[in-house]
Amino acid sequence: MAKKEIKTNKAKNKAVPQKQQIVWAPGMPFRRINYIIMLIGILVLIAGYILLSGGGTDDPTEFSEAIFDTRRMYVGPIVLVLGFLIELFAIMYRPKEKEEKKELL
């Protein structure tokens, strides 16, 4: 709900409307869309960690060149960074209010 403050002009005694401020009701800090975006971000993070896995050998005396694969060196970390950026966006995103709700007193 938006509150409209009215400031009176002492010289002319007329009501001058000020900027409307959005007052957030106490309760849930995020809306449904925020949780959906967070879930997408978590799925992207899981995919990034899966891309980073593997490349080891069963014998500890052998060295495997598979740990330097393009998937593990470049694709996995890029997907992880994208996942963290999606999570940051989900936390910071605030959907716009509908005009009907703003015009209420």
Of residues 78, 76, 58, the one with CA closest to residue 68: 76
Task: Please check whether residue 61 lies inside any domain of the structure.
Answer: yes
Output the pTM of the full model.
0.65
Residue 9 has pLDDT above 60, yes or no: no
Task: Please check whether residue 90 lies inside any domain of the structure.
Answer: yes
Task: Please check whether residue 2 lies inside any domain of the structure.
Answer: no
Amino acid at 96: K
Task: Please check whether residue 13 lies inside any domain of the structure.
Answer: no
* Integer Cα distance of 94 and 25 in angstroms: 14
pLDDT confidence of residue 25: 61
Number of folded domains in the chain? 1
pLDDT confidence of residue 64: 82
pLDDT confidence of residue 90: 95
Domain span at residue 85 reads: 27-102
- Which DSSP letter does residue 91 get? H
Task: Please check whether residue 57 lies inside any domain of the structure.
Answer: yes
pLDDT confidence of residue 42: 98
55-100 per-position pLDDT tens digit: 777 888 888 888 889 999 999 999 999 999 999 999 999 888 765 4
